[in-house]
Amino acid sequence: MAGRFEGKQALVLGVANKRSIAWAIARRLADEGAQVAFTYQGERIEKNVRDLAETVSSPLVTECDVRSDDDVARVFSEVAEAFGGGLDVLVHSVAFAAAEDLEGRFTDTPRDRFWLAVDISAYSLVACARAAEPLMEARGGGSIVTMTYLGGERAVPHYNVMGVAKATLDASVRYLAWDLGSKNIRVNAISAGPVRTLAARSIAGFTTMEELFEQRAPLHRQIDAEDCAAAGAYLLSEDARNVSGTTLYVDAGYHAMGM
């Protein structure tokens, strides 16, 4: 359905490379008419993000450290300047946990790295939603989508502290949906099955996870970033104008199974 985002302005956080779910969503938004701004984290991926952003004629590409309130404020100030003071769409696809905490026991997670994972993976949504609120209110409302995973609801071996961070993210979606709903701002999450992204490769046993997923999911097939992009476009569009505080599972039905 072409044109759902004509005249819309979007900010996408979390693109790392062309395999990123965030990039698949961004490209779908651009294909359907949106102007899309991007953030990146660190020099290592800056060129990747800038090269991809250029293909969709992005008006803004800027670095963002989501652990810094000052940096988040700067980014949204730049977004306001680039978009004339408004924002319609925010895509939050940001998560991090130390590699060593995705290999051993969750019990052994040290305090500092526990809070690191929660800060980057969950609180960053709260910080960004707060900064986006006045820009979306100026446009008469908006829509926010974040990326979660079933490991926030059930114990997934090796997902460890990231599962705890995703549980925090899931609860944050619901509370943000309530707080921002009066401003006509919707907040939802996509819970994706295993997708071969840069982040996924850091999870020990990811290949085994993929194999089990295909065996046990009702549809007996893998998903990809484009499946998430289609779901994201729906949630971010007016087609989902009465959908908020919801997690949409894009996992071939895996979440419905008991074992």
pLDDT tens-digit readout, 12-67: 999 999 999 999 999 999 999 999 999 999 999 999 999 999 999 999 999 999 99
**Active-site residue (options: 149, 175, 249, 254):** 149
234 is catalytic: no
* pLDDT of amino acid 259: 79
Q: How far is the C-alpha of 254 from the C-alpha of 193, rounded, in Å?
A: 8
Q: DSSP string spanning the chain?
A: -TTTTTT-EEEEE---STT-HHHHHHHHHHHTT-EEEEEE-SHHHHHHHHHHHHHTT-S-EEE--TT-HHHHHHHHHHHHHHTTT---EEEE------GGGGTS-GGG--HHHHHHHHIIIIIHHHHHHHHHHHHHHHTT-EEEEEEE-GGGTS--TTTHHHHHHHHHHHHHHHHHHHHHHTTTEEEEEEEE-----TTGGGSTTHHHHHHHHHHHSTT-S---HHHHHHHHHHHHSGGGTT--S-EEEESTTGGG---
Low-confidence winner among 89-103, 139-153, 203-217 (lowest mean pLDDT): 203-217
Q: Residues 137-148: what's their mean pLDDT?
A: 98
- Whether the CA torsion 194, 224, 60, 16 is positive or negative: it is positive
* pLDDT of amino acid 209: 72
pTM of the model: 0.94
Q: For the chain, what are the domain ranges?
A: 9-250
pLDDT tens-digit readout, 214-253: 999 999 999 999 999 999 999 999 999 999 999 999 999 9
**Active-site residue (options: 159, 175, 234, 249):** 159
* pLDDT of amino acid 206: 63
Q: DSSP string spanning 101-150?
A: GGTS-GGG--HHHHHHHHIIIIIHHHHHHHHHHHHHHHTT-EEEEEEE-G
pLDDT tens-digit readout, 121-133: 999 999 999 999 9
Indicate the fold that domain 9-250 takes in CATH.
Answer: Rossmann fold (3.40.50)
Label residue 195 by pLDDT band (50, 70, 90): confident
Residue with the larger pLDDT of the pair 203 and 82: 82
Q: Which residues contact 39 (CB under 8 A, 6 or more apart)?
A: 11, 12, 13, 14, 49, 61, 62, 63, 64, 75
* pLDDT of amino acid 2: 59
* pLDDT of amino acid 179: 98
* pLDDT of amino acid 207: 72
* pLDDT of amino acid 143: 98
Q: Distances from the Cα of 235 to the Cαs of 89, 113, 131, 222, 223, in angstroms?
A: 10, 32, 20, 21, 18
Label residue 1 by pLDDT band (50, 70, 90): very low
pLDDT exceeds cutoff 70 at 198:
no
Label residue 186 by pLDDT band (50, 70, 90): very high
| Average per-residue pLDDT for the chain | 94
Label residue 210 by pLDDT band (50, 70, 90): confident
149 is catalytic: yes
